[in-house]
Structure 1
Amino acid sequence: MQSNPEALQRSFAHPDHPLHYIEAGSGEMLLLIHGSLCDYRYWRWQLPALSKEHRLVAPSLRGYWPAAFTVEDASFSIARHTRDLAVFIEHIGNGRPVHILGHSRGAQVALELACAAPELARSLILADPGFQLGGELPAPSFHSEVVRLLQDGEIELALSSFVDAVNGAGTWRQMVGWFKTMVKDNAYTLLSQFREVNLSVDMDRVSRLLCPVLLIGGANSPPRYGSRLDALEQALVQASRVTIPLASHGMNLANPKAFNQAVARFLESTQGS
């Protein structure tokens, strides 16, 4: 990654699927979990800044670039990604709990990981989680139209439709070249992700988490994300919450300075806890 020449690209020999990741820095480990259509390249502005005090490890989840699925694959799921990361942490974290940061779909993976294996979570940071709440009526989905466009070979239109739906109208048009390349590399993961539509989270289970939690939202993010953060804030009495100004859903790219400062302050606050 040109933005952080000191970062090292590595591969973990998972029992049934290699896990590619990048890492930088030393100290307590911070695991970065990307969201839809992304991979470890998504964290290009976090690696150089946050690795000054921590060991940052950013994997590409199963099915994403550089080993991206090109057809629907049943091994692609929140549950599978959670299990993959639990094995990964136990290997790379030397048996010690780690700080976990997830964005968007990756925030659901992070939350499930902390709930399923609380002994692995030193702290939890959730940035604009996009999951459905338990008991909530299914929201109208745009996924089926995106999948149809992908199957018809309308890649650019499919991706612009998806990105604009989760970030706000006109977002795709404003995206820089490297981001569009990353998204196109992961386009067909949406064929597998389609099966996850309306997969919900049990807030009673979430409320039993004991680790420190930081909730992050973008000031200009679509309202759906704020409603997820509201529910999490109510369920998690130990949670703190920050809003990143001048940023929508992709807040760590739109305003990386504010995002990195918020994460760094939270991590510092967990020392000795």
Structure 2
Amino acid sequence: MQTLLVNGYDIAYLDVGSGMPLVCVHGTLGDFRTWYPVLGPLSKTHRVIALSLRHFFPEHWDGAGNDYRMAQHVADVIGFIEQLKIGPVDLMGHSRGGHIAFRVAEQRPDLLRKLVLAEPGGNLDATLGETASAASPIAARIPAAVEKVKSADIDGALALIVDMIDGEGTWKRLPAAPKQQLRDNAFTLIGQVGEDRRPFSRSEAESIRTPTLLIGGGDTQGSLAQIWRVLAQHIPNATTAVIPGARHWIFDQAPQQFSEAVLEFLAA
């Protein structure tokens, strides 16, 4: 693990492999360990740089303060890429990290060569059609999950979120290591309540000029299955890929197939 001082915060990251740099941004409750299942295949041809966002593991945040904001995390990723001083990079984000990666591409396309959005999280506004009313499944349960975190029922809070995303009973079936990773980041749910994440709009999607792959699991349900497909219709010349049999944590459930789709896009 290494750290890089960005906007007054030490961002922890892993740096594995060599070749074209691929910066990876985790989603809600994740950290740089999120990408462990695909570090092997991706690092065969790329320099994979997986970061932990502000207030995620290895920090053990208590939920205090007012700097857990979407805009802050976007600024941190922009600053991180600038601090690397390695020229344009490929950028990949999952879920909430996909939203962050989208905003980086929107604001600083000069920093990017290619963009991979793995089921980006958030909402669609009215300019993107009737699916715009679909609420984020994570957002729907976060207030109740936060109350459980504050009352020290960490596993109860995480079960609410994980089961909403991948189906009832998923939390109980998770192996010990993924469970612990989620526990390590449980307090970030407190920050997510007031993170000020704005919905995706049609004009924003149409403004993306970075070559983009949108990738999703074939068995993902709800708005997470809709958002990336809608964005793909409006991001110019976007490429799509579906991983059969996988749900939201695609790279964990189908690491080889996910990596193959990503690497094929990055090599094109």
TM-score (norm 2): 0.93
Looking at structure 2, the residues matched to 13 and 217 of structure 1 have their Cα atoms a distance apart, in angstroms, of 33
Structure 1 residues 165 and 199, CA gap change in structure 2 (3 angstroms): farther
For residue 166 of structure 1, report the CA deviation from its aligned partner.
1.8
Counterpart of 2:106 in structure 1: which amino acid?
A: C
Instruction: Determine the structure 2 residue equivalent to 1:55.
Output: 47
Instruction: Determine the structure 1 residue equivalent to 2:75.
Output: 83
Instruction: Determine the structure 1 residue equivalent to 2:129.
Output: none
Looking at structure 2, the residues matched to 195 and 222 of structure 1 have their Cα atoms a distance apart, in angstroms, of 25
Q: Is the 8 A contact 2:25 2:50 kept in 1?
A: yes
Structure 1 residue matching 2:193: 3-state secondary structure: helix
Deviations 1:16-51 (A, max 9, x none): 110000011111110100001010001002111111
Q: Is the 8 A contact 1:32 1:56 kept in 2?
A: yes
Structure 1 residue matching 2:28: 3-state secondary structure: coil
Looking at structure 2, the residues matched to 194 and 166 of structure 1 have their Cα atoms a distance apart, in angstroms, of 17
1:99 aligns with 2:98: no
Deviations 1:148-205 (A, max 9, x none): 1111211111111111112222211111111111100000000000124763122302
Instruction: Determine the structure 2 residue equivalent to 1:267.
Output: 266
Looking at structure 2, the residues matched to 134 and 68 of structure 1 have their Cα atoms a distance apart, in angstroms, of 34
Structure 1 residues 84 and 197, CA gap change in structure 2 (3 angstroms): closer
Instruction: Determine the structure 2 residue equivalent to 1:157.
Output: 156
For residue 138 of structure 1, report the CA deviation from its aligned partner.
7.0
Deviations 1:65-100 (A, max 9, x none): 001321243111211111111111111142x11101
Counterpart of 1:66 in structure 2: which amino acid?
A: P
Question: 1:141-156 maps to which residues of 2 (within 5 A)?
Answer: 141-156=140-155
Looking at structure 2, the residues matched to 262 and 250 of structure 1 have their Cα atoms a distance apart, in angstroms, of 15
Q: Which segment drifts farther, 101-110 or 230-239?
A: 230-239
For residue 254 of structure 1, report the CA deviation from its aligned partner.
0.4
Instruction: Determine the structure 2 residue equivalent to 1:219.
Output: 218
Structure 1: runs of 5 or more not aligned: 1-8
Instruction: Determine the structure 1 residue equivalent to 2:123.
Output: 132
Q: Is the 8 A contact 2:99 2:120 kept in 1?
A: yes
Structure 1 residue matching 2:48: 3-state secondary structure: strand
Structure 2 residue matching 1:48: 3-state secondary structure: helix
Instruction: Determine the structure 2 residue equivalent to 1:67.
Output: 59
Looking at structure 1, the residues matched to 118 and 225 of structure 2 have their Cα atoms a distance apart, in angstroms, of 10
Going by fraction, where is helix more abundant, 1 or 2? 2
Q: Is the 8 A contact 2:162 2:171 kept in 1?
A: yes
Counterpart of 1:132 in structure 2: which amino acid?
A: N
Structure 2 residue matching 1:133: 3-state secondary structure: coil
Q: Is the 8 A contact 1:168 1:221 kept in 2?
A: no
Match of 2:28 among 29, 36, 42: 36
Structure 2: runs of 5 or more not aligned: 127-131
Looking at structure 2, the residues matched to 197 and 132 of structure 1 have their Cα atoms a distance apart, in angstroms, of 12
Q: Is the 8 A contact 1:138 1:198 kept in 2?
A: no
Looking at structure 1, the residues matched to 3 and 195 of structure 2 have their Cα atoms a distance apart, in angstroms, of 27
Structure 2 residue matching 1:67: 3-state secondary structure: coil
Structure 1 residues 221 and 197, CA gap change in structure 2 (3 angstroms): farther
Looking at structure 1, the residues matched to 11 and 98 of structure 2 have their Cα atoms a distance apart, in angstroms, of 19
Counterpart of 2:147 in structure 1: which amino acid?
A: R
Counterpart of 1:71 in structure 2: which amino acid?
A: G
Looking at structure 2, the residues matched to 226 and 114 of structure 1 have their Cα atoms a distance apart, in angstroms, of 21
Looking at structure 2, the residues matched to 138 and 259 of structure 1 have their Cα atoms a distance apart, in angstroms, of 26
Deviation >4 Å, runs of 4+: none
Q: CA RMSD in A?
A: 1.5
Structure 2 residue matching 1:262: 3-state secondary structure: helix
Instruction: Determine the structure 1 residue equivalent to 2:104.
Output: 113
Structure 1 residues 149 and 16, CA gap change in structure 2 (3 angstroms): same
Structure 1 residue matching 2:179: 3-state secondary structure: helix
Deviations 1:104-126 (A, max 9, x none): 00000000011011111111111
